[in-house]
Amino acid sequence: MSRASDRAYSAIRNMILSGELPAGAQLGEEALAELCGVSRTPVREALRRLEADMLVDRTDTQRTFVADWSISDVADAFELRAMLEARAARRAAERMTDATLARIKAANRALLDAIQQPLPDVAGFLESNREFHGIILEVAGSRRLSALLGTLVEQPVVLRTARHYTREELRRSHAEHEELTAAFARRDGAWAEAIMTSHILRAYHAYADAHRARLDAGLTQEAAE
Amino acid sequence: MSRASDRAYSAIRNMILSGELPAGAQLGEEALAELCGVSRTPVREALRRLEADMLVDRTDTQRTFVADWSISDVADAFELRAMLEARAARRAAERMTDATLARIKAANRALLDAIQQPLPDVAGFLESNREFHGIILEVAGSRRLSALLGTLVEQPVVLRTARHYTREELRRSHAEHEELTAAFARRDGAWAEAIMTSHILRAYHAYADAHRARLDAGLTQEAAE
DNA sequence: CCGATGGCATTTGTATACAATATTCATGTC
DNA sequence: GACATGAATATTGTATACAAATGCCATCGG
């Protein structure tokens, strides 16, 4: 990650995910180059990668903007993610080894630790959650599946919403992970697939509810951050 | 498609899909630049896009090679494609309009025409087939689904195998398209999804059988072309 | 006042030069 | 003879200059 184009990619990506670069903002290559302390060449490369990630949009005349995720875009992404992660879970269950099962259990223990802090450690939760899902994807053993899911997991608004998860919601995630672990222990692909589908779709509705609540409170998305 | 980087992308992509650049061949930026008549800059951009398409691989030290699709890679791609196109078919059935249905029927009529030539017009078949699947994807109305499928449809070896389809296999494709059209006419998403799954998986097995036959004949993949 | 037109400013695209890194091959040492 | 070492070579990464295109704004004509 020391190449200039990688630094530019991470920097711009983080600014988009954090909301520092708001949806709809124009991304001029020169301006970004200055921000990242590199020349336009690596910035251009970074922008193309972000375009493939669908984090930025380009107009017909080659101007680049921060992608504006409508609520239906988010729903679309979650629906596809549910299908793909469920497939990954099924494959993982069918190929599960005891060693991998131990890693999965460890990840979910770490996740529980993060939740049980006096103040829930959301960053730690997200990290363990990423680890948990990452192991499953690894065991599923499909490069393509991993690649496809790559563009679906990180969504700007959703990530920011995660910070507001209640302890109850975090606990629910942990419980679902435990159930997934049980399905893996039994090598039951159909069960794992079903739990994963419901796990992702529940997360989607948690987000959608929070989103609606903010709208009802008469706040704009910006103000709610 | 007049920008130099687009031309480079198409040129290199075609050389890979046609087999002119064989699997495993190293892709030097300078050499490709000369081949395409452009400088290294657009070639680099093209290579990044091809990497995202998984048509080329890069080593840990940034060297680029034509991706080598093992039979299990092909199986993996088909499995995912079946899942995603089936989902698209379901969504399309649920959103079908009479106007779109007419376009789908027209595409399949064109496909039948291509088949019924004295010598089956495989290029025409492939074109109509692309059109047929393209309309479904369009009606499915999910940018992400389209994007994900984009990297799965064109597979180097498979495309070359298509040339050897028998008239019987082509007819079978047409019949399955007809059945899909019936499901669309009824707006029956579950039916459309099931037919599409079986349509893609049958195509996969047709390829796998042909592949095996070539191996049994003691031919290398190259020699069989 | 509205819309079209032309030219200036800005932005993106491409080529090229140079820097950094990887590979190769010859050389020397054990 | 095998392996490590290190220059020579080849390849990729980045910066920059310039070309092409796009957008903006002022001016002009209706």
Q: Does residue B29 contact residue A122 with C-beta atoms inside 8 Å?
A: no
Question: Which among A41, A76, A144 is the nearest to B144, CB-wise?
Answer: A76
Which nucleotides on chain D have any atom < 7 A from a protein Cβ? Answer: 10-17, 22-23
Alpha-carbon A126 to chain mean position = 9
Tell me what pLDDT residue B165 has.
Answer: 85
The Cα A55–Cα A22 span in angstroms is: 11
Is A98 found in the same domain as A117? yes
Question: Which among B48, B54, B76 is the nearest to A45, CB-wise?
Answer: B48
Closest CA to A17 of A200, A128, A170, A161: A161
C1'-nearest nucleotide to the CA of B58 = D12
Decide if B80 touches A, using CB distance below 8 A. yes
In this complex, do A80 and B145 lie within 8 Å of one another by their Cβ atoms?
Answer: yes
How does pLDDT run along chain B (225 residues), one tens digit per residue?
Answer: 669 999 999 999 999 999 999 999 999 999 999 999 999 999 999 999 999 999 999 999 999 999 999 999 999 999 999 999 999 999 999 999 999 999 999 999 999 999 999 999 999 999 999 999 999 999 999 999 999 999 999 898 888 888 888 899 999 999 999 999 999 999 999 999 999 999 999 999 999 998 888 888 865 544 444
Our measurement of CA A69 to C1' C16, in angstroms, reads 39
Average pLDDT over residues A3-26: 96
SS3 for chain B, per residue?
CCCHHHHHHHHHHHHHHHCCCCCCCECCHHHHHHHHCCCHHHHHHHHHHHHHCCCEEECCCCCEEECCCCHHHHHHHHHHHHHHHHHHHHHHHHHCCHHHHHHHHHHHHHHHHHHHCCCCCHHHHHHHHHHHHHHHHHHHCCHHHHHHHHHHHCCHHHHHHHCCCCHHHHHHHHHHHHHHHHHHHCCCHHHHHHHHHHHHHHHHHHHHHHHHHHHHCCCCHHHHC
Is B38 found in the same domain as B102? no
Q: How many residues does chain B have?
A: 225
Band of residue A1 on the pLDDT scale cut at 50, 70, 90: low
Average pLDDT over residues A110-127: 94
The whole-angstrom distance between B117's CA and the closest CA on chain A is 37
Find the distance separating the first CA and the last CA of chain A, reported in whole Å: 29
| Residue A37 Ramachandran class (φ > 0 left, ψ -120 to 50 alpha, else beta) | left
The whole-angstrom distance between A5's CA and the closest CA on chain B is 12
The Cα A59–Cα A68 span in angstroms is: 13
Structural tokens at position A48: 């193309």
- Of A19, A47, A66, which one is at a domain's C-terminal end? A66
Tell me what pLDDT residue B198 has.
Answer: 98
Check residue A19 and report its DSSP letter.
Answer: T
Closest CA to A142 of B76, B208, B200, B82: B76
Q: Sign (positive/negative) of CA torsion B103, B105, B106, B107?
A: positive
**Does A4 contact strand D, using a CB cutoff of 7 Å?**
yes
* SS3 state at A53: coil
The Cα A133–Cα A96 span in angstroms is: 14
What residues of chain A lie within 8 A of the CB of B52, using their CB? Answer: 52
The Cα A159–Cα B144 span in angstroms is: 19
Is B155 found in the same domain as B116? yes
* SS3 state at A64: strand
Is B80 found in the same domain as B24? no
Closest CA to A178 of A151, A207, A199: A199
Domain count within chain B = 2
**Does A62 contact strand D, using a CB cutoff of 7 Å?**
yes
Is B115 found in the same domain as B89? yes
Is B139 found in the same domain as B201? yes
Closest CA to A184 of A195, A169, A174: A195
* Residue entry with tokens 């592949």: B211
- The mean pLDDT value of chain A amounts to 93
Average pLDDT over residues A86-115: 98
Is the pLDDT reported for residue A160 higher than 90?
no
State the CATH number of the domain containing residue B183: 1.20.120.530
Tell me what pLDDT residue A225 has.
Answer: 41
What residues of chain B lie within 8 A of the CB of A80, using their CB? Answer: 87, 142, 144-145, 148
Band of residue A218 on the pLDDT scale cut at 50, 70, 90: low
The Cα A30–Cα A47 span in angstroms is: 12
- Of A51, A66, A81, which one is at a domain's C-terminal end? A66
Is A118 found in the same domain as A104? yes
The Cα B154–Cα B128 span in angstroms is: 15
Is B213 found in the same domain as B155? yes
Average pLDDT over residues A177-204: 98
Our measurement of CA A107 to C1' C15, in angstroms, reads 50
Q: Does residue B20 contact residue B12 with C-beta atoms inside 8 Å?
A: no
What residues of chain A lie within 8 A of the CB of B54, using their CB? Answer: 143-144, 147
What residues of chain A lie within 8 A of the CB of B41, using their CB? Answer: 41
Closest CA to B73 of A95, A84, A142: A142
CA A137 vs CA A148, A202, B151: distances in Å: 11, 20, 19
Is A80 found in the same domain as A45? no
Decide if B87 touches A, using CB distance below 8 A. yes
Tell me what pLDDT residue A166 has.
Answer: 87
Question: Which among A54, A143, A145 is the nearest to B147, CB-wise?
Answer: A54
Q: Which helix (H) or strand (E) is A2 found in, with range?
A: none
In this complex, do A77 and B144 lie within 8 Å of one another by their Cβ atoms?
Answer: yes
Is B112 found in the same domain as B196? yes
In this complex, do A80 and B144 lie within 8 Å of one another by their Cβ atoms?
Answer: yes
Q: Domain residues for A137?
A: 71-224
Is B160 found in the same domain as B52? no
Decide if A159 touches B, using CB distance below 8 A. no
State the CATH number of the domain containing residue B19: 1.10.10.10
Phi, psi of A86 (to 5 degrees): -65, -40
**Does A29 contact strand D, using a CB cutoff of 7 Å?**
no
Is A84 found in the same domain as A188? yes
- Of A35, A50, A66, which one is at a domain's C-terminal end? A66
Closest CA to A159 of A101, A59, A74, A72: A74
